[in-house]
Amino acid sequence: MWQNLPLFPEQASTLAPRVDALFYFLVAVSLFFGLLIAFLIVYFAVKYRRRPGRERAGTFEENLPLEIFWTAVPLGISMVMFFWGALVYFDYSEPPVGALNIALVGRQWMWKIQHQEGQREIDELHVPVGRPVKLTMTSEDVIHSFFIPAFRIKMDVLPGRYTTTWFQATKAGEYQLFCAEYCGTQHSGMLGRIVVLEPADYQRWLGGGAGGLTMAEAGQNLFQRLGCVTCHRADGTGQGPSLVGLFGRQVKLQGGKSVVADEGYIRESIIDPRAKIVAGYQPVMPLFKGLVSEEGILQLIAYIKSLGQEERTVGK
Ligand code: CUA
């Protein structure tokens, strides 16, 4: 019934009904108290207006039970809001294990998408229904924001680092993608289409990708072409550390600190290797800043992941 009202977009993800329920609760509470207060202002103004024989306000004795009541009730209501909101937020910020991993690069003014299987698309994203999809996102230039109203998700897409978001579509169909961060003259035209397919149709769509390389294979080619392979030998005899089984692992750094090898760490280590030196190695790796595109870095990461990874999700 709300479909034609842009304020109430279709609910097409597992998150959508949960976000809406919380939203309606907040609106209902605000409305109830807003109306109550407005009514009481008018009511008391009339009831206690100045009249002959009632020139002054009466005195009011302290009433402890009343004080406790109107402190405890709002506290209870705000705690409900807090914990309910936190629950929804935690589920939203932590992609489920085993989610389909898709890479996204934003730029003025388009969305570039790479699937692990090798398919690439621009301003369109094909996903299967009923399966969690995790997006690893970055920008080539300025801040953009990835916004799908029907899924109730919105996440900034930032230059120089990765952000992630996830969703699980519940209905096949097409949904609008917006850029929700002003990013230049064509910002309003930075639109896209999310195409949610039945699993069988999705497999067919994947198969139609004209047999290109997978992301990991493309990454492996890059790994050879850029010469990474000369130092990062699989057997660990090179000048750089072996990358086998690196992803998701704790890495010991020079100086005693350690860091989890997630996408952000690997990206930084390619662009600016001197930022974090692995314990026992020399800072001899050249900087690849400007030499690899964001899409190339995502391919390299896919390749490194394919060399084995810790069996757990990496936070943040
Ligand atoms: Cu990209 Cu606004």
Q: Residue 54: inside a domain, yes or no?
A: no
> 203 and 224, same structural domain?
no
179 lines ligand 1 (CB under 6 A): yes
Domain hosting 182: range is 100-207
> 200 and 297, same structural domain?
no
CB 203 within 8 A of CB 127: no
CB 145 within 8 A of CB 125: no
In the chain, how many domains are there? 3
> 174 and 110, same structural domain?
yes
Map residue 298 onto helix, strand or coil: helix
Map residue 44 onto helix, strand or coil: helix
The gap from C-alpha 286 to its chain's centroid, in whole angstroms, comes to: 31
> 88 and 107, same structural domain?
no
Query: Within 10 Å of residue 231's Cβ, how many Cβ atoms?
Result: 14
Residues 6+ apart with CB under 8 A from 263: 136, 162, 301, 314
| CATH classification of the domain holding 225 | 1.10.760.10
181 lines ligand 1 (CB under 6 A): yes
Torsion angle, alpha carbons of 23, 26, 29, 34, to 10:
-110
Q: Name the percent of the chain lying above pLDDT 90.
A: 47
Domain final position from 166, 182, 207 = 207
Token pair in block for residue 311: 């069996």
**pLDDT grade, residue 315 (50/70/90)?**
very low
CB 241 within 8 A of CB 228: no
Give the residue, 9 or 83, on which the prediction is more confident.
83
Domain final position from 187, 207, 227 = 207
CA 14 – ligand 1 centroid, Å: 26
Query: Does the pLDDT of residue 202 top 60, yes or no?
Result: yes
Q: Which of 104-113, 120-129, 139-148, 288-297 has the lowest mean pLDDT?
A: 288-297
137 lines ligand 1 (CB under 6 A): no
Pick from 193-197, 261-265, 270-274 the range whose average pLDDT is largest.
Answer: 193-197
Q: Residue 52: inside a domain, yes or no?
A: no
253: nearest Cα among 233, 234, 281: 281
| Predicted confidence (pLDDT) per residue in 119-155, tens digit | 888 999 999 999 999 999 999 999 999 999 999 999 9
> What is the Cα–Cα distance from 127 to 115, expressed in whole angstroms?
10
Q: Residue 124: inside a domain, yes or no?
A: yes
The gap from C-alpha 191 to its chain's centroid, in whole angstroms, comes to: 18
**pLDDT grade, residue 193 (50/70/90)?**
very high
Please give the model's pTM, rounded to 2 decimal places.
Answer: 0.78
